[in-house]
């Protein structure tokens, strides 16, 4: 079964599973839950099964679940735990699903989510599968755009940084294709977006200056120095500066999936356009909406 054919309420595997109306529904629920006091998942529980550490993502799901009244069984660094002593991923999944209403899975293997879904009888949420996808991150990024600007269609979105390796960027680009959005890319040539993700209308740049003026959303990701040859590393610096912000639109939204390591100096944090911490909060709401959609009583 192709990922896209799995109903997302049964397993969130890839952004390819979502239609615009699915997204509208999730975002509307996220907004309602963000102001609500109801605890619709009281008595429900999930397992956070993290084969790779990711405190940020696991904490976000943990908080989402407990805010809804549910509980979380946290299993971190599962490689060192007795669960996996010689045990197949499939057996681990079938064991842990006895204890919970859904499993949130972060794994270093790209095929892990698919293997989990093939044996699981409870919903699975892909919280990152190796070089594969991180669909809840892409959804929260899109939700941030929607909340900060009130709409998505008609915007000019600039993605800057390491566009080659980031699964988050790839997933977000796929989602943006569903909207009437102009997409621009800024990266060192060595770290440009893989060709399969590009469409004819896209424009690519090596410098933020060329596009900062007309950008509505500036989405910045890390450029990991070790991925650049020395000569390139010297010529480009993919950090946003105060001068960039001075030139940018008043209503521009500056985003980053965090953690950052210099791409956005903390001096810019007080700029009202800096949305990266609000982005964390929006992520909580999107994950709450997914959990309620997948395991809520209705």
- Contact set with its own copies (CB under 8 A): 37, 39, 43, 45, 47, 53-56, 59-60, 62-63, 66-67, 69, 71, 73-75, 78, 80-83, 85-88, 90-91, 94-96, 98-100, 258-261, 266, 277, 280-281, 283-284
**Which residue out of 9, 38, 42, 56 is catalytically annotated?**
56
Yes or no: say if 159 and 167 are a contact pair by the CB < 8 Å rule: no
Spatial separation of the C-alpha atoms in residues 83 and 62, rounded to whole Å: 20
Spatial separation of the C-alpha atoms in residues 53 and 77, rounded to whole Å: 6
Is residue 247 part of the annotated active site? The answer reads no
Nearest to 217, CA basis, from 285, 140, 142: 142
Is residue 56 part of the annotated active site? The answer reads yes
CB of 270 to its own copies, least distance (A): 11
Is residue 85 part of the annotated active site? The answer reads yes
Spatial separation of the C-alpha atoms in residues 201 and 173, rounded to whole Å: 13
How far is residue 148 from each of residues 78, 145, 248, 273, measured CA to CA in Å? 37, 5, 16, 9
**Which residue out of 57, 92, 136, 221 is catalytically annotated?**
57
Is residue 287 part of the annotated active site? The answer reads no
Is residue 182 part of the annotated active site? The answer reads no
Q: To which H or E segment does residue 288 belong?
A: helix 276-295
Spatial separation of the C-alpha atoms in residues 32 and 28, rounded to whole Å: 6
CB of 146 to its own copies, least distance (A): 18
Between 30 and 193, CB nearer to its own copies: 30
CB of 59 to its own copies, least distance (A): 5
Between 25 and 271, CB nearer to its own copies: 271
Could you give the residue numbers annotated as active site? 56-57, 85, 106, 134
């Amino acid at each position: 079964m192709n990922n896209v054919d799995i109903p997302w309420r049964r397993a969130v595997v890839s952004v390819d599973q979502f239609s615009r109306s699915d997204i509208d529904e999730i975002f509307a629920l996220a907004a309602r839950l963000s102001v609500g006091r109801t605890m619709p998942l009281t008595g429900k529980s999930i397992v956070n099964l993290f084969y790779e550490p990711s405190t940020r993502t696991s904490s976000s799901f943990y908080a989402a679940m407990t805010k809804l009244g549910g509980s979380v069984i946290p299993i971190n660094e599962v490689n060192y735990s007795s669960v996996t002593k010689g045990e197949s991923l499939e057996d681990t999944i079938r064991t842990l699903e006895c204890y919970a209403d859904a499993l949130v899975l972060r794994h270093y293997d790209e095929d892990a989510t698919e293997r989990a879904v093939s044996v699981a009888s409870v919903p699975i949420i892909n919280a990152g599968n190796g070089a594969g996808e991180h669909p809840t991150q892409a959804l929260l990024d899109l939700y941030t755009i929607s909340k900060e600007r009130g709409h998505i269609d008609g915007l000019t979105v600039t993605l800057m940084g390491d566009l080659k390796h980031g699964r988050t960027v790839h997933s977000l680009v796929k989602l943006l294709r569903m909207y009437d959005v102009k997409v621009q890319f800024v990266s060192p040539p060595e770290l440009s977006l893989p060709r399969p993700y590009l469409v004819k209308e896209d424009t690519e740049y090596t410098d933020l200056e060329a596009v900062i003026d007309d950008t509505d959303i500036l989405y910045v990701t890390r450029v990991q120095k070790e991925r650049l040859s020395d000569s390139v590393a010297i010529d480009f610096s993919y950090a946003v500066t105060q001068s960039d912000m001075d030139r940018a639109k008043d209503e521009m939204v500056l985003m980053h999936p965090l953690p950052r390591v210099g791409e956005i100096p903390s001096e810019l944090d007080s700029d009202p356009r800096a949305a990266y911490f609000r982005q964390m909060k929006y992520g909580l709401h999107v994950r709450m909406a997914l959990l309620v959609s997948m395991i809520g009583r209705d």
